Structure 1
């Protein structure tokens, strides 16, 4: 299996990758094809395909913020069972982030991730791919060491229509031992992350306002 970075929408693998995203994720979670052109050119945004016999069987997107010394897993897709795609992607992603941290003189504090709460989000079949089931994905993140940040989380839909996407938890994988994060650190990262979207829902603005009134955000088990 190959771990191939996708850096252009002209890459033949990107069409496979984007179609896979549309098959697996809800519409509001998928950025339109042409709008990927600029993000793919950003060196801080890393999009990789797991390629098996010429077919994209897994995808991961993640990024790093040099100023805040933190990373974010945007999404991971595992399209087929029985190939060891999940461990393969996790290992390769970890190697890539360690190399990036070294090249940029960073000491990464950890990695953020969004995860559906399957007890609230009951209607996401993720294209019928069993390994993408919200219960499975949540347990995988828990085993990797992710913790749930203790605040009600919403995010703006990637369609930029101003819709609030809920039924999600915002999580963090600390690379150093800690049981909380500064609320200002969490707020700054979220605002930076969603800066590309101009149409923010009221619920998102209220969430940011509430974060700015707090000091620490506890990290709880998933």
Structure 2
């Protein structure tokens, strides 16, 4: 198994990856093929695939923000069970992020992720791939150390149609297990930067950002 970075939509592995995304994720979670050109060429966005022979069996996309010394996991895809793909991707991702943080003269602070809450939304089947089942993914991410940020979360649809996507939690995996909260300004600044590519923000998202206000800290809760 090889861990290979994709930096162009012309890479044959990207077509395989985009097809895999379309098979597993709901349509509103998949950015249109042509809109991937700039993100893939952005050095801060890191898209890696797990390749076995000529097959893309899994993938992960993430990014590192040196100013905040945090990362964001955009997605992790496991396309086939029984190959320890989850561990392969998670271990290689963390190793890569730790190297980026070290180049920044720091130890990685932690990583954000959006996580479906299947106890609220049960209709996402994720292509029928059982290891991508939201109940399984949520428990795995809990085991990895992710914690839920204590506020009601929505995000803009990646279809850029102004719709709000619900049924998720914004979570954070601190590298320090004793961390109990995050500065509210960090959360707001991160979300504003992360979704800057989408011009059509839903009012629910804008209201959420306003509600965060300047209350100082956002508590990290068990997932």
TM-score normalized by the length of structure 2 = 0.98
Alignment of 1:129-208 (within 5 A): 129-176=129-176, 177-208=178-209
Q: What is the aligned length?
A: 222
Alignment of 1:212 with 2:185, yes or no, is no
Residues of 2 paired with 1:117 and 1:186: CA distance? Answer: 20
- Pairwise CA distance, 1:103: 2.1
Q: Write the deviation string for residues 170-193 of structure 1: whole angstroms up to 9, x where unpaired.
A: 000011231111111111101110
Contact 1:30 1:158 in 2 (8 A): yes
Q: Write the deviation string for residues 111-163 of structure 1: whole angstroms up to 9, x where unpaired.
A: 00000000111110000000000000000000000000000000000011000
- Pairwise CA distance, 1:53: 2.1
Q: Secondary structure at the match of 2:166?
A: strand
Residues of 1 paired with 2:76 and 2:29: CA distance? Answer: 13
Contact 2:98 2:107 in 1 (8 A): no
Q: Write the deviation string for residues 33-60 of structure 1: whole angstroms up to 9, x where unpaired.
A: 0110000011110000001121000010
- Pairwise CA distance, 1:104: 2.8
Task: List, as ranges, runs of 4+ consecutive aligned residues in structure 1 with deviation greater than 6 Å.
Answer: none
Residues of 2 paired with 1:55 and 1:174: CA distance? Answer: 33
Superposition CA RMSD, Å: 0.8
Q: Which residue of 1 aligns with 2:16?
A: 16
Contact 1:66 1:106 in 2 (8 A): no
TM-score normalized by the length of structure 1 = 0.98
Residues of 2 paired with 1:215 and 1:207: CA distance? Answer: 15
Residues of 2 paired with 1:118 and 1:87: CA distance? Answer: 22
